[in-house]
Amino acid sequence: MSLPRWTFEEWETATLVILRRDGDRCSWCGKGLNNDAARHHRMRRKDGGDRLSNVVLLHTRCHVYVHAHPDEAKERGVIVPPWEDLLTAKITTWRGTFYLADDGTRHAAIP
């Protein structure tokens, strides 16, 4: 199975969609990105590909923190193991807990 890989132009478009979806804020700390955005694949790119459900934007320092604290990041759905389905893997951000869709939307995860 070949996983989607975005071109430069597709990355530019996807970044705008993600910024809109996430309110131009870091998905980890909730503060404004202010031109300090690192793209983060929730599931390793080789396992989940380039999909809007798989990519969030984090501050550079938050991105480093997420990778240094994988258990905490997994609890919040910022890291997703390859055996899970990205579309049903909840993510907890500054806005609440959601499911991310491949069309660039998010849907509230009702407990």
Residue 3 belongs to some domain of the structure: no
Q: Which domain holds residue 92?
A: 8-108
Confidence of residue 4 (pLDDT cuts 50, 70, 90): confident
Quote the number of domains for the chain.
1
Which tokens hold the place of 24? 């131009």
- pTM of the entire predicted model: 0.93
Residue 77 belongs to some domain of the structure: yes
Helical residues (DSSP H) of the chain, grouped into ranges: 8-21, 45-48, 60-68, 70-75
Residue 102 belongs to some domain of the structure: yes
Residue 30 belongs to some domain of the structure: yes
Give tens-digit pLDDT for 33-88.
998 999 999 999 999 999 999 999 999 999 999 999 999 999 999 999 999 999 99
Residue 55 belongs to some domain of the structure: yes
CA distance 29 to 88: 22
Residue 65 belongs to some domain of the structure: yes
Residue 111 reports pLDDT greater than 80: no
Question: Which percentage of the chain shows pLDDT scores above 70?
Answer: 98
Residue 94 belongs to some domain of the structure: yes
